[in-house]
Amino acid sequence: MSDPQFEDWSGETGDRWLANIDRFESMIADIGRALIAFAKFEPNESVVDVGCGGGPTTLLIAREILPEGHVEGIDIARQLVERARLRASEDGMTNAMFTVGDAQVASPTRKPVDRLFSRFGVMFFEDTAAAFANMRQWLKPGGRLTFACWASPQDNPWFASIGGVMSQHIEMPERDPAGPGPFRLCDTDATKAMLEGAGFTEVSFTEHAAEQALGGQGAGAQGAADFVLQALDIGPLLAEAGPGVVAKARADLVAEFAKSVKDGSVMLPGKSWFVSARNPG
């Protein structure tokens, strides 16, 4: 990531994420658990969790690799790393540590590790190929990479439902498929070629389809609408249009999300890719 992005994640974006961290994490918690099961960690392995956020996946991995394994979470947002460190201390997980850093350019301060892991933390680099080439240097020969990325926007109606409502109120920014963003790695052919260009082999993709609890479990239509406006990047853009527009957009979001409420949560279909690759050495 570039310096402006680092400043953003340690500033406004990081603050917004931290303020909504429970809702963010609740929305993708099941995917994180499924990805860890898919990764099949073994006792005593060494792991780096890239884009660890507030540390929930890092701490789950820490338990998987006991008694002598260790895991390091790395994230660009200082606020989230501080939260992760607090959680590790509260949980008594002494085999988990956390570092503020940009995985695109960071030099390893550790010995090469057995595994690299990321739950939705590798789609926002300024130069994805350079980032994966850099991270491959952190792996032992034969070490494995496992990460989750979103499939296409068309496969994720939770995203389309937000965009459909917002486009009625503001001009939506055009998405750059090749630029940093949640769907940066959705094209499996392009992602496979990028990983191979970064030096990885045995690249494979496994589909993971599951409903998403938009705004977290139990948010309901009102809570999901508030999550969109307060937590996502679209909120500041909408706010520029004025309070009247915000109120109308919120009402429309609530009406849209109410169609998909199940047991108190807004449940919308979602799809991601679980990606696996190996460092040949």
pLDDT in tens, the chain (281 residues): 445 555 566 677 778 888 889 999 999 999 999 999 999 999 999 999 999 999 999 999 999 999 999 999 999 999 999 999 999 999 999 999 999 999 999 976 678 999 999 999 999 999 999 999 999 999 999 999 999 999 999 999 888 889 899 999 988 877 777 788 899 999 999 999 999 999 999 999 999 999 989 999 999 999 999 999 998 888 888 888 888 999 999 999 999 999 999 999 999 999 999 999 999 97
Residue of 23, 152, 14 lying closest to 76 (CA atoms): 14
Residue of 280, 221, 228 lying closest to 254 (CA atoms): 221
Q: Which pairing describes strands 113-119 and 261-262: parallel, antiparallel, or unpaired?
A: unpaired
**CATH assignment of the domain containing 119:** 3.40.50.150
Asked if residue 41 lies in contact with residue 115, where contact means CB atoms within 8 angstroms, the answer is: yes
- Expressed as residue numbers, the domain containing 31 is 3-152+177-212+271-278
In a domain, 53, yes or no: yes
In a domain, 217, yes or no: no
Question: What are the counts of helices (DSSP H) followed by strands (DSSP E) for the chain?
Answer: 11, 8
In a domain, 221, yes or no: no
In a domain, 251, yes or no: no
Rounded-to-integer distance, Cα 98 and Cα 88, Å? 9
In a domain, 252, yes or no: no
In a domain, 58, yes or no: yes
Rounded-to-integer distance, Cα 212 and Cα 145, Å? 25
pLDDT at 1: 41
CA angle (35, 28, 279) in 5-degree steps: 30
